[in-house]
Structure 1
Amino acid sequence: MAATTRVIVQVGHCSQSVGATQVAEALRSALSGNTGVSLIIAGCDGACFAAPQVLVINPSGDTQRHTNVSLDDIPALIEFLIPDNTAQQQHPPLVKGGSGDLASFFVPQTRLLLSRCGSIDPSSINEYIAASGYSGLNTALSQSPEDVIQTVMDAGLLGRGGAYFPAARKWQGARAANDDPRYLVVNAEEGEPGLFKDRHIMEGDPHQLLEGALIAAYATGASQTYIYINAEAHLSAQRIETAIRHAQEVDLIGD
């Protein structure tokens, strides 16, 4: 099968407010039937000020980043995606903006939690696995729960809610509890004022949250997990539900 050009539209709670959904639908309609281009709806990579963003990745891996894309830009973008000559297809010009515009934002960062956000299809478990997803779970299951907790302790992993409480301390307490069943609660409610840290992960890389929950459940001995999502975070809930369904289909998790 011939390699295709990947067109990634970043659609998250932030970019929806500036027309990302409409941009994605316009591109879907314009590219319908074109077998040389695959359209991917991803989450936001955190550069919300540049939304809507469209990433064009050609078969060689070169990436063109189009920022603040509007419906008015779609005809020009389509012209460069489906050009009349090969030279244009290999090096499509930018519609507006470019990777250099975001250099000051991305270059100083070492991206860990958000490393896949904005570049993979959050609805595809296969893309997550291809990007080393669930390898951490595989490693954890090869160790004892106590060793997993010690690994988390040694890593210095802290909570992200503002108090920065050591995660391993919580896991140790749950592991030491005598009562069963034990429950794992993932707090993704974002109750702190002005915080939207969890939505980027749930919208852009939902299987990462599930993988972390599975590792935590194994380490603590929890048999059931609840994910608490803000009632207004509709897109987060939708993508988490899809990820859960796909994980169930491959027997990674139960009902």
Structure 2
Amino acid sequence: MDTSFLLLAVLAFTWCSFAIASDHSPLQDFCVALPNSPVKFGTHYTIPTMYCVAVLVNGVACKDPKLAQADDFFFTGLHKPGNTSNPVGSKVTPVNVAQIPGLNTLGISMVRIDYARWGINPPHTHPRATEILTVLEGTLYVGFVTSNPDNRLITKVLHKGDVFVFPEGLIHFQRNAGYGNAVAIAALSSQNPGVITIANAVFGSNPAVSDDILAKAFRVDKKVVDYLQSQF
């Protein structure tokens, strides 16, 4: 194989790998999302096609930048408390490209989280983002678990004005540790950070994970697994 062709193939494959690894840095001032637009795809490379076909790029189609307006970069409503009347006692109010079209391709988003007394934001991960959380009101007990093999739990009690970081991809949680409601604002390093709630994914998948597998994984009787799955 020609050396220059091989080098091109390796570079193209490397570029493809990086292209799907995280949010792209924008190549323009902004890319205001068109409503209901399909996800964009990058260039179809013909050399070598087996390595790089229709590279998925985060974001949606852009409208003409000359038509951008202030409202494309604006959202109001984070002052409104979320409804925490649910089994976990918390409510996440997102602010992402669905709420602010001008966030498209900028690699950031945020949420407001409301916690009822003793409410929790249950263990979950963001596969594509680091999270930085600031307590606005109340007291939170927060923590995350490091990856295998250590699985070390790192926790902290936060008060109003305190800030805590949850590294990308790690399981983390928050619990209201005070005597009243609590509120936090969190920023995330992706316009689409994703969220995997551990209990929902393990016990509420569709179709369900075999209770044989879960019983062995959690070292409990299958009846316990069946009960947990029935709750989801």
Q: TM-score range by the shorter chain?
A: under 0.3
TM superposition score normalised by structure 1: 0.22
Taking structure 2 as the reference length, the TM-score comes to 0.24
Structure with the larger helix share: 1
Which structure has more strand as a fraction of its residues?
2
Larger Rg: 2
